[in-house]
Amino acid sequence: DVKVTQSSRYLVKRTGEKVFLECVQDMDHENMFWYRQDPGLGLRLIYFSYDVKMKEKGDIPEGYSVSREKKERFSLILESASTNQTSMYLCASSVIGALGVGYTFGSGTRLTVV
């Protein structure tokens, strides 16, 4: 069964901490995405990557960075966590060019910044 795996289901961090959210996919997908999900706002794209070491900003990149050193792994980094980054974070992957197929999602990481 193909998968997108997010390393933590729940995470609690302190304000100012550097936070790493990890995502691994086993489908050899070129594209990987990080979204945050907030009530009433739906899913908003933070960053995506279409190849190793390549990244593009999404709609809300401020306060975040990403790293993609290997094809299967895409990390989201909160350089200095703040309380307004408390949210659900969803990772997804897709085959490049297969526009009609949609994404495969991970199960999400619920991050609380205190």
Closest to another protein by CB, 18 or 57: 57
In the complex, minimum distance from the CB of residue 112 to another protein, in angstroms, rounded to a whole number: 15
Binding-residue total with another protein (CB under 8 A)? 24
The sign one gets for the Cα dihedral 8, 9, 13, 18 is positive
Closest to another protein by CB, 17 or 96: 96
Beta-bridge partners for 34 = 47, 91
Cβ(49)–Cβ(64) below 8 Å: no
Distance CA 72, CA 56 (A): 17
Among candidate residues 75, 73, 53, the one with its CA nearest the CA of residue 64: 75
Of 33, 34, 64, 74, which one interacts with another protein (CB under 8 A)? 33
Amino acid at 25: Q
Of 40, 53, 69, 84, which one interacts with another protein (CB under 8 A)? 40
Closest to another protein by CB, 2 or 82: 2
Point out which residues bind another protein (CB under 8 A). Answer: 31, 33, 35, 40-45, 48, 50, 58, 88, 90, 92, 94, 96, 99-100, 102-103, 105, 107-108
